């Protein structure tokens, strides 16, 4: 029976490529693994897969009775709904420790680096398994995506080192240019439905018993949202009602000027004002230098609940 390697809900490039890379590594080590995904592939991920001839993992949202590895997450909210009926063999992640528990011992590779693919790269090194050229290119892009081309405060020396080594293997000299190309693809929002934008990189968090949803869209120029905000706010309200959430926030992140426009629909906006020490006007506030949800947003919002 195959073991499934799962990426998180609303999968991003780091989780999709990480699941593909871990699957390859585990297969080399003699484990019969298959990568699966729980949702739509984003345009950015599609760009990366096409560039290097990668194949998207198969869509599979139920894992009851299966053995699984988790890549780029470790909490219930981002797992298949029947994860508790699966056996978790391992977690490869770079987020805060989540709320999943296991009945059996597991393999854990969890470290505070900028990308799960940096950890997978170190797994390859530690097992002395060669990374194929195209896979190296995809992993390099995944790290550039998650670290916002090294600009994110989550980026560490381990990430830049991994990118340089992967660039060499993939034969790509100007990896920063490729990173920019990827973010330009990511910035294309025209003609996309509000719900697709809102949930493209969206996570729900249980904050001390209260449910809060936080999405993020990283673009090279915030102008792309000029005529989109009304539509986004409308849908944030709907999403909040549907999910019976306390708050839905959306970070519109400008990776060039390095900061995020925060949009909030909440039962109590003051929690966000306190978290960031800002005044929210018309449900919006500018957060200078904020690029990372995991490092600069969650740790400040969560204590307000």
Q: What are phi and psi of 189, to 5 degrees?
A: -115, -10
Q: Binding of Mg ion at residue 14 (CB under 5 A)?
A: yes
Q: Which is nearer to Mg ion, 77 or 280 (CB)?
A: 77
**Positions 101 through 140 that interact with Mg ion (CB under 5 A):** 116
Q: Binding of Mg ion at residue 44 (CB under 5 A)?
A: no
Q: How far is the CB of 292 from Mg ion (least distance, A)?
A: 8
Distance, in Å, from the CA atom of 79 to the CA atom of 99, rounded to the nearest integer, reads 11
Q: What are phi and psi of 202, to 5 degrees?
A: -125, 135
Q: Which of 12, 67, 75, 204 binds Mg ion (CB under 5 A)?
A: 12
How many residues interact with Mg ion (rule CB under 5 A)?
Answer: 6
Q: How far is the CB of 117 from Mg ion (least distance, A)?
A: 8
Distance, in Å, from the CA atom of 112 to the CA atom of 35, rounded to the nearest integer, reads 24
**Positions 142 through 181 that interact with Mg ion (CB under 5 A):** 146
Q: Which is nearer to Mg ion, 6 or 268 (CB)?
A: 6
Hunting for tokens 């896979």 — which residue is that?
A: 135
Residues in the chain: 305
Distance, in Å, from the CA atom of 92 to the CA atom of 156, rounded to the nearest integer, reads 17
On the 0-12 / 13-18 / 19+ scale of CB atoms within 10 A, 34 is middle
Q: Which is nearer to Mg ion, 119 or 222 (CB)?
A: 119
Q: Binding of Mg ion at residue 93 (CB under 5 A)?
A: no
Q: What angle do CA 216, 222, 228 make, to 5 degrees?
A: 75
35-51 per-residue burial string, b: 16 or more CB within 10 A, e: under 16: bbbbeebbbbbbbbbeb
Stretch that binds Mg ion, among 13-21, 33-41, 165-173, 228-236 (CB under 5 A): 13-21
The 52-91 site mask, x for binding Mg ion (CB under 5 A), equals: --------------------x-------------------
Stretch that binds Mg ion, among 10-18, 35-43, 150-158, 261-269 (CB under 5 A): 10-18
Q: Which is nearer to Mg ion, 14 or 44 (CB)?
A: 14
Distance, in Å, from the CA atom of 83 to the CA atom of 289, rounded to the nearest integer, reads 36
Q: Which is nearer to Mg ion, 171 or 256 (CB)?
A: 256
3-state secondary structure of 65: coil
Which residues lie near Mg ion (CB under 5 A)?
A: 12, 14-15, 72, 116, 146
């Amino acid at each position: 029976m195959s073991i499934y390697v799962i990426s998180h809900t609303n999968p991003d490039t780091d989780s999709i490529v990480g699941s593909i890379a871990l699957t390859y590594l585990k297969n080399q080590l003699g484990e019969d693994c298959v990568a699966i995904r729980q949702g739509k592939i984003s345009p950015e991920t599609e760009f990366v897969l096409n560039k290097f001839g990668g194949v998207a993992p198969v869509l599979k949202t139920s894992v009851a009775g299966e053995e699984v590895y988790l890549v780029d997450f470790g909490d219930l909210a981002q797992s298949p709904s029947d994860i508790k009926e699966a056996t978790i063999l391992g977690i490869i992640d770079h987020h805060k420790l989540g709320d999943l528990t296991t009945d059996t011992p597991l393999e854990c590779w969890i470290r505070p680096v900028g990308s799960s693919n940096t950890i997978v790269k170190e797994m390859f090194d530690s097992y002395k398994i060669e990374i194929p050229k195209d896979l190296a290119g995809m992993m390099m892009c995944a790290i550039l995506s998650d670290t916002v081309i090294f600009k994110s405060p989550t980026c560490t020396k381990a990430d830049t080192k991994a990118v340089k080594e992967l660039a060499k293997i993939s034969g790509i000299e100007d990896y920063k240019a490729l990173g920019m190309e990827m973010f330009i693809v990511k910035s294309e929002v025209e003609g996309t439905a509000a719900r697709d934008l809102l949930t493209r990189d969206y996570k729900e968090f249980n904050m001390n018993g209260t449910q809060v949803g936080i999405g993020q869209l990283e673009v090279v120029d915030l102008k792309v949202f000029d005529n989109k905000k009304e539509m986004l706010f409308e849908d944030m309200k709907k999403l909040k009602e549907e999910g019976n959430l306390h708050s839905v926030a959306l970070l519109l992140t400008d990776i060039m000027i390095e900061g995020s426009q925060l949009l909030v629909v909440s039962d109590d906006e003051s929690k966000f004002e306190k978290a960031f020490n800002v005044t929210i006007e018309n449900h919006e506030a500018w957060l200078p230098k904020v690029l990372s949800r995991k490092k600069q947003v969650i740790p400040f919002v969560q204590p307000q609940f």
